[in-house]
Structures are given as structure tokens and as C-alpha cells.
């Protein structure tokens, strides 16, 4: 447990896999940099791994003043206990005021373990982080410059802002893709600090026997243009229409939960709160009603085109262009119009 402090840095847990830094860690560095500047403190990333010291430079290029690098054979692949040991020891030693993690399979396994050991507060799956003040209604004490942890709750029907002020660090996991991923800035400089961590026998209690990773066949996050089909597409066969439109635009194929649940397309294509969060240059939603869980995963797209027969569909509330009509007629017309212009 560490006491609240005002001069601690803002930290990001840097997640690496197979010698690559996860994009979400870079997204978080960008946001953490801004939070640190607002607070007037430094920003550091913690990078546990094995033979991956050079990854520090990417974290620095995304805003880290410091990278605490921990190099150990048992940190090569993520396992809860040794990684939790690294985080808890470094937090106790350097006393950051904020620690944020990507809300990935790794981050959501690690952060609660660390929070429990540090007896610190943790908010899951945030979609925004801000600095702000909080008036405690019990003590009437105003706490200045806390991290406001903003997240959807109740199945996405409400947005809650969470704070913690009496036990630090303030910790949160942040959903992938909600913070913009900046460009690498090679002019930035920072310090790499090599840290040694003391492990105990229990830290190696869980052994990794076998590990299998699938290449992401569908890379929604990297797509500039995404064409998404929803329940309104009607059938698996008819999804070809969505693929065709994506094809002429050189875009990726997305799907709403309704389309995935109906078996029209594989879950890897799902956009939304339980799927992938995306922010492409153009998002075309075809036959998607636009449940709040779906909108949460795409509303940051630069341009949104919505096609739906129901003029009251919630998807129109986030659209820039709305077409009320039958997608079976509208999509072929769009393909035709795009081909004419190309």
C-alpha cells in the first residue's frame, strides 16, 4: 500500500508479446503523457520482458520520459505471478500516483492481482481518463487533480466516473483503441532504467506448457475503411454484399453482435463493446440498428455512413450521412457510384 502523493509519476504498463509492443500500450503512453503534463510530473513505462530492451525506444517515442526495463527469462511470456511481482515491487519503490494498463487479456488478468496486493483502487475498462477535482460528500474535503476514470457500466447503459483518493496508486485498465495511437516521434528522448526484481518460489508456481497464437486474420484496428453488416443483412449469403462494398473500397469487413450471433459471420469481425473498438477514417454501417454497445465501439470514426430501413434506428444518432432505405438496393448503387468515380 502506498500513501497518496502529489509528485509521483504517471505510469503505463507496457505489454509486449513476441518482441512487439502492443498498440494499446503506445496509445496509453500518448494519453499518459498528456495527464503527466497536466499534473506537472514525469511519465514512465514499465517494460517487463526477456531480451527486449530495444522496445523501450518505441515507448519513449510515444511519450515516456523513463522506461523501467526488467529483463528476466521468466518474463519472456506473460504469466500472472512474476509480472505482478514486478509491478508491485516497482510501485512500492517509486510510488507512482497513477498506473494504467491496457484492458487486454493480459491487463485484465494482471491489474486486479496488483491492485489487490497493493490494496489500491482499480477501475476496469475505461474509455476516457481525465484530471479533475472531487468533493468527498462524507468529509466535505475537496481532492484536487485526481484521475477521473470514466467507463460504461450496466451493459453500456450508463457512464460512470470513478475516483480513488485515499489509497494509491490510482489504477485503471483502458479499452484498446479508444485513445488515439500517435505517430512514433523519434526526436523524443528518455532514459532506460534497468531494474532488478526479487522473485520468490511462489512466483514460478504456474508453468507455461504450451502456447498458441493465431494471427489476426481480420485486422479491424488497422483498417482505414470498415464496412459493417448488422442483423438487417438478413443471411450469411447476403453478407457477400457487405464484402463486395468493402472490396471496392479496399476496406475491412465488420459485423455487429446481432450479425455474429445469427451466424452470418465470424466473431473476429465484431465491432463494439465485446468486440473490437475501431476509429477508421470511414465507417459504413449497413443494417446495423446501433445498440449502445455497438456505438461505443465505433462512434469515434472520422466519418460514419449509416444505411437502415428504420429511420428511428439509433445508429443515425452518430452518423454523418444517413440513408433510410433497403441496403439490398442502396449498396449496389454505392458500388456503382464508386466504380464510376474510380
Partner 1 sequence: MELAYDSIVCVKQVPDTSNITGEAMTPEGTVNRAALPAVFNPEDLNALEAALELRDQHGGTVTAITMGPPVASEVLRECLYRGADRAVLITDRRAAASDTLATSYILSRAVETIGRYDFIFCGRQAIDGDTAQVGPQLAEKLGIAQVTYFERMVELNNRTARVRRNVGNGWEILEAELPLLFTVTDLANEPRPPGARRVMRYKRARTMDGVRRDVVAAMPNADEQQQEAEWAKRLESLKMGQLLLEQWDLDKVKADLRWCGVTGSPTKVHRVQSIVLTKEGHTEVSPTEAGIREMVHELIEDRTFG
Site for partner 1 in 207-226 (CB under 8 A): 207-214, 216, 224-225
- Cβ burial of 187 (10 Å; 0-12, 13-18, 19+) is exposed
DSSP string, 286-340: ES----HHHHTTTTT-SEEEEEES-TT-GGGGG-SEEEES-HHHHHHHHHHHHHH
As given in the structure block, the three cell numbers for residue 281 are 477514417
The stretch near partner 1 (CB under 8 A) out of 52-60, 93-101, 192-200, 317-325 is 317-325
Instruction: For residue 270, give the 3-state DSSP assignment.
Output: strand
Q: Does 319 bind partner 1 (CB under 8 A)?
A: yes
Buried b / exposed e across 58-96, counting CB within 10 Å, b at 16+? bbbbbbbbbbbbbbeebbbebbbbbbbbbbbbbbeebbb
C-alpha–C-alpha distance, residues 204 and 11, integer Å: 25
Q: Does 303 bind partner 1 (CB under 8 A)?
A: yes
The stretch near partner 1 (CB under 8 A) out of 58-66, 193-201, 239-247, 314-322 is 314-322
* Distance from the Cα of residue 103 to its chain's centroid: 6
Q: Does 337 bind partner 1 (CB under 8 A)?
A: yes
Q: Does 287 bind partner 1 (CB under 8 A)?
A: no
Q: Does 153 bind partner 1 (CB under 8 A)?
A: yes
Query: If binding means CB under 8 A, how many residues of this protein chain bind partner 1?
Result: 84
The number of residues making up the chain comes to: 342
Write out the binding residues for partner 1, residues 103-122 only, by CB under 8 A.
104-106, 108-109, 111-113, 115-117, 119-122
Nearer to partner 1, 95 or 113 (CB): 113
Q: Does 206 bind partner 1 (CB under 8 A)?
A: yes
Write out the binding residues for partner 1, residues 265-284 only, by CB under 8 A.
281-282
Q: Does 231 bind partner 1 (CB under 8 A)?
A: no
Residue 63 CB, nearest approach to partner 1 (Å): 26
Q: Does 80 bind partner 1 (CB under 8 A)?
A: yes
Name which of 192, 154, 107 is nearest 293 in CA terms: 154
Residue 279 CB, nearest approach to partner 1 (Å): 14
Amino acid at each position: 500500500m502506498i500513501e497518496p502523493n502529489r509528485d509521483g509519476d504517471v505510469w503505463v504498463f507496457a505489454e509486449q508479446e513476441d518482441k512487439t509492443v502492443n498498440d494499446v500500450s503506445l496509445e496509453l503512453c500518448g494519453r499518459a503523457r498528456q495527464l503527466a503534463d497536466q499534473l506537472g510530473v514525469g511519465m514512465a513505462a514499465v517494460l517487463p520482458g526477456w531480451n527486449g530492451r530495444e522496445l523501450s525506444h518505441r515507448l519513449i517515442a510515444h511519450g515516456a520520459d523513463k522506461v523501467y526495463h526488467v529483463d528476466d527469462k521468466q518474463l519472456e511470456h506473460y504469466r500472472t505471478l512474476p509480472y505482478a511481482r514486478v509491478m508491485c515491487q516497482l510501485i512500492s519503490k517509486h510510488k507512482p500516483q497513477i498506473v494504467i494498463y491496457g484492458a487486454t487479456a493480459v491487463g485484465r488478468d494482471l491489474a486486479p492481482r496488483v491492485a489487490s496486493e497493493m490494496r489500491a483502487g482499480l477501475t476496469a475498462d475505461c474509455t476516457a481518463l481525465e484530471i479533475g477535482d472531487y468533493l468527498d460528500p462524507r468529509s466535505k474535503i475537496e481532492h484536487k487533480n485526481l484521475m477521473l476514470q470514466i467507463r460504461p457500466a450496466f451493459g453500456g447503459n450508463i457512464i460512470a466516473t470513478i475516483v480513488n483518493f485515499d489509497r494509491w496508486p490510482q489504477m485503471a485498465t483502458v479499452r484498446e483503441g479508444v485513445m488515439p495511437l500517435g505517430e512514433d516521434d523519434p526526436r523524443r528522448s528518455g532514459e532506460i532504467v534497468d531494474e532488478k526484481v526479487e522473485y520468490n518460489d511462489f512466483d514460478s508456481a504456474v508453468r507455461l506448457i504450451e502456447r498458441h497464437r493465431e494471427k489476426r486474420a481480420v485486422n479491424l484496428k488497422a483498417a482505414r475503411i470498415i464496412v459493417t453488416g448488422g442483423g438487417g443483412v438478413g443471411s450469411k449469403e447476403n453478407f457477400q454484399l457487405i464484402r463486395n462494398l468493402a472490396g471496392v473500397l479496399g476496406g475491412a469487413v465488420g459485423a455487429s453482435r446481432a450479425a455474429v450471433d445469427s451466424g452470418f459471420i465470424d466473431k473476429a469481425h465484431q465491432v463494439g463493446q465485446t468486440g473490437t473498438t475501431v476509429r477508421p477514417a470511414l465507417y459504413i454501417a449497413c443494417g446495423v440498428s446501433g445498440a449502445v454497445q455497438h456505438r461505443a465501439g465505433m462512434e469515434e470514426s472520422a466519418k460514419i455512413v449509416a444505411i437502415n430501413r428504420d429511420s428511428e434506428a439509433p445508429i443515425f444518432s452518430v452518423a454523418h450521412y444517413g440513408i433510410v432505405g433497403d441496403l439490398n438496393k442502396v449498396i449496389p448503387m454505392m458500388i456503382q457510384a464508386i466504380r464510376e468515380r474510380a
